[in-house]
Amino acid sequence: MKKPWIWLRVAAVFLFLFVLAHGAGMLAGAGKFRDAQERAVIEALENYRFDIFGTTRSHGDFYTGLNWFLTVSTLVLALLTWQLSSVSRREPRSARPMTVTLCLGAIAFTVLCCLYFFILPLALYAGAAIALAIAAWTA
């Protein structure tokens, strides 16, 4: 199928699914613990507060903030990918450099998911990376 705009939409759907799954996972897991050991670790992260550049924060604040940062960043990537599909529909060649950049980023995220996370984020980012690679190849 030599329609790169379709593959860009497929990639955007994978990214939107990541946003939904990650956001739902964060909200569903808030305040829930698997066992007493996990509770102790999370409470230690939240209770140890320190000054950083004039603001008092905890490692728990960073953990929560980075989770939301990832969710919002991936939402922006999904929206940009969807918008790029419209450009690609009219001018496939002009969208190729941006598609390649998004593809390389999705590949990097896939590697990070493989190293540090689990199968669901890995599968969703791998799906996005594959769709972006096909979009770039067919442009």
pLDDT tens, position by position, 93-137: 999 999 999 999 999 999 999 999 999 999 999 999 999 999 999
Owning domain of residue 117: 4-29+67-138
Q: What is the mean pLDDT of residues 1-9?
A: 92
Give the model confidence (pLDDT) of 83-99 as tens digits.
999 999 999 999 999 99
Q: Which amino acid appears at position 26 of this protein?
A: M
Give the model confidence (pLDDT) of 7-56 as tens digits.
999 999 999 999 999 999 988 887 788 899 999 999 999 999 999 999 99
In a domain? residue 102 = yes
Bridge partners for 55 per DSSP: 52
In a domain? residue 84 = yes
Contact at 8 Å (CB) between 33 and 136?
A: no
In a domain? residue 51 = no
Bridge partners for 56 per DSSP: 51
Positive or negative, the CA dihedral 72, 78, 81, 83 is negative
In a domain? residue 43 = no
Three-state DSSP class for residue 28 = helix
Q: Give the number of domains in the chain.
A: 1
DSSP type of residue 53: T
pLDDT score recorded for residue 139: 87
Angle separating helix axes 4-29 and 92-116, nearest 10 degrees = 30
pLDDT score recorded for residue 85: 97
